[in-house]
C-alpha cells in the first residue's frame, strides 16, 4: 500500500452487489471486470451472506481515495485517513 489510511470492512452491511469490485477494477485497469479487482467476495453458504475480502498485496488504497469505499452505498467498505496503512474487519451491523 502506498497511501496511508484504513479501510474498514463491515461484513454484515455487504449486500453482494459487487460495486466495490467493479470500482476497484476500473480504478486499476480502466476496465469493469471483477476478476481484475483487489477485492474478492466470500460467500457463507449457511447464511447466504457475502463479505468483501481485500487482497492486501494488491490494494494501494487508490492513493488515499479508495474507489471501493466511494462505490459502496451500503457502508460495507469505508475509508479513514490515518498515519498507518491497515485493513480492519469489524463484526456486527454498523450503527
Q: What tens-digit pLDDT sequence spans the chain (95 residues)?
A: 467 889 999 998 999 999 999 999 999 999 999 999 999 999 888 888 888 989 988 999 998 999 999 999 999 999 999 888 888 888 754 44
Q: By residue range, what is the domain housing residue 26?
A: 5-89
Measured CA to CA, the distance from residue 10 to residue 14 in angstroms comes to 7
Total tally of structural domains belonging to the chain: 1
Measured CA to CA, the distance from residue 4 to residue 12 in angstroms comes to 25
pLDDT at 73: 95
Question: Would residue 16 count as lying in a domain?
Answer: yes
Question: Would residue 95 count as lying in a domain?
Answer: no
Question: Would residue 94 count as lying in a domain?
Answer: no
Question: Would residue 60 count as lying in a domain?
Answer: yes
pLDDT at 87: 84
pLDDT at 44: 84
Question: Would residue 58 count as lying in a domain?
Answer: yes
Measured CA to CA, the distance from residue 15 to residue 76 in angstroms comes to 8
What's the whole-model pTM score? 0.84
Amino acid at each position: 500500500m502506498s497511501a496511508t489510511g484504513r479501510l474498514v470492512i463491515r461484513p454484515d452491511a455487504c449486500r453482494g452487489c459487487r460495486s466495490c469490485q467493479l470500482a476497484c477494477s476500473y480504478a486499476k485497469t480502466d476496465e469493469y471486470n471483477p476478476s481484475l479487482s483487489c477485492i474478492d467476495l466470500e460467500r457463507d453458504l449457511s447464511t447466504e451472506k457475502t463479505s468483501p475480502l481485500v487482497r492486501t498485496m494488491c490494494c494501494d488504497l487508490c492513493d488515499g481515495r479508495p474507489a471501493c469505499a466511494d462505490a459502496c452505498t451500503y457502508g460495507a467498505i469505508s475509508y479513514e485517513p490515518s498515519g498507518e496503512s491497515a485493513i480492519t474487519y469489524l463484526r456486527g451491523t454498523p450503527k
